Amino acid sequence: MQFDETTQKNLDAWLNGDYDQDSKDEINRMLKKNPQQIIDAFYTRVAFGTGGLRGVMGPGTNRMNQYTIAAATQGLANYINQKPSKEPHSVLIGHDSRNNSPFFSEVAARVFAGNNIRVYIYKEMRPVPMVSFGARHQKCTSAVMVTASHNPPEYNGYKVYWDDGAQVLPPHDEAIIKEVNNITDLKQIKSLPDMNSDLIHWIDDNLDHVYLDTVRALQRFPEDNKLKGERLKVVYTALHGCGITMVPKILKDWGFSSVSLVEKQAIPNGDFPTVEKPNPEEEKAMKMGMQQLLNEEADILLGTDPDCDRIGVAILHECKAALLSGNEMACICIHHLCEAMQSQGTMPQNAAFVKTIVTSELFKAIAEFYQKPCFNVLTGFKYIGQLIYQWKQQKPATYEYIFGGEESYGYLLGTHSRDKDAIIMSALICEVALQAKLHEKTLLDVLHEIYKKHGIFREKLVSIVYPDSKETKDKIKKMMENLRKNPPRSFAGKAVKILEDYDSSKRIDLISGKEEPITLPQSNVLLFWLEDDSKLVIRPSGTEPKVKIYCGVVDKDEKDINMGIVAMDAKIEQLTQDLKKLLS
């Protein structure tokens, strides 16, 4: 089979270069049995994006392996060493339960040390928030987490953090990408032959205790948690990930001692043998835990993804297992925090909350009910981390961050981490559930009470998946251009009032024609506000051939909550069908 020039050049470099024999044997096997795999593996380099690397594992320039990890690390090391610093530069490295994650983390450690950068590396797998927290605690210049989040088993990845503990943002991200792209030859990589170096320091479980000590103060009902926490019956599934190292510890520390594990999913395993996808956003992944919830007649099920930054929740309600969405859980948590701080007199004068533009507007309504601001950021938790950092730099602080969340099951209470934290959230959610139980309620009862106070807000995410081809990319690009030039004037019979175009940074009143600037960074996102306060967001994926549609509706007048939910869910279906026709 003939390959294009780039594929052949990359292939020859591997077959003739200083690469391990196992990789060469695998390449020769692919050449004989499936040449198409050669094209996929060598036609380009695995892209180092603004968050780092992510891809399928295996030999090749377009795969996650020790060589692509080493090249990325060398580029990052070059950038770090360009930065002036009073103290010697250091990085912290963590990894999850995925196949090859421990190995890849050691590859990175040897390259950093080879570039005279001090390394703190977790001896065992730890969650994402422990990397963010640990990097800040050790005052590191940067940090790396080897993980592919909740992607399928064949994937792995490499997430990069900066000194504030948040994922890299401008100007660092583009500068790091440039340095990584400059590494085109193995000879450019400086790596130690093994882990025996005075520059490499293994992290034991002492940092776990520092984390637990730090977040203990975030409890709103510490006495109830300590004295009555055992009354809450909790089921926990780690979905074969690294949450098992920290979630049971924090639950016990806060007083939630009645915890049963989904044993088959408590065993770390990068093959994720009991689930199709280890994603707590999907009901299939939570199925085993939900069955255990029913069997044990427990109160609540918590499920964390492999790197333990996202958390899914199901509860026992009227003898049935009921899943709560990311939007619902975010709103229940902000309601709990605001109500507790208000009644206890602990609400900071300058308290502030943060959500992404696609997260429920109920979140904002709750914050404003307590006369506190809620700030919108683009999708991606790094933007929440950025706001925390900016507010911390202000003297005196204009705002004090309390809580932030996004619809995709990621939340953060406190500022100890600057990324999503399913460790602290598992404990907070149990605190909320305990307070509900002490008042003979479930979290669903609490949600319905929130609806009574603020209105019935309902949301849905729909993804339109297209064939993976260059034609698809062109089609999506033209479709977004057309929507910008000729925005729809109505959806499901409701007029469009406002178009927010985050690519051109404009908020356009489609009735008056008036334009206002949007101060958030540019992004290929369109948000339509309808006359009845419904919102529709269109966001193409940056890495996959799909477009995401986020729909949110509200009814502030309906008194019958159950009827209102049915009506709002039907309205969402109507709106999303209208938009899908437009995008098909």
**What residues are annotated to the active site?**
149
Cβ-contact 42, 62 below 8 angstroms: yes
In degrees, to the nearest 5, what angle opens at C-alpha 294 toward C-alphas 291 and 299?
Answer: 120
Report residue 180 as tokens: 């990584």
User: What is the DSSP code string of 273-295?
Assistant: TT-SS--TTSHHHHHHHHHHHHH
**Do residues 199 and 117 lie in contact, with contact meaning Cβ atoms separated by under 8 Å?**
yes
Pick from 34, 165, 155, 22: which is nearest to 91 by CA?
Answer: 165
With beta carbons less than 8 A apart as the criterion, state whether 286 and 275 touch: no
Question: What is the CB-side half-sphere exposure of residue 56 using CA atoms within 13 A?
Answer: 8
In terms of Cα–Cα distance, which of 580, 576, 578, 545 is closest to 475? 545
Per DSSP, what are the bridge partners of residue 351? 400
The residue type of 549 is I
C-alpha distances (whole Å) from 181 to each of 48, 57, 78, 218 are 8, 19, 12, 42
Q: Provide the token pair at 435.
A: 């307070």
Cα separation, 418 vs 132, whole angstroms: 6
CA angle 162, 164, 167 (to 5 degrees): 45
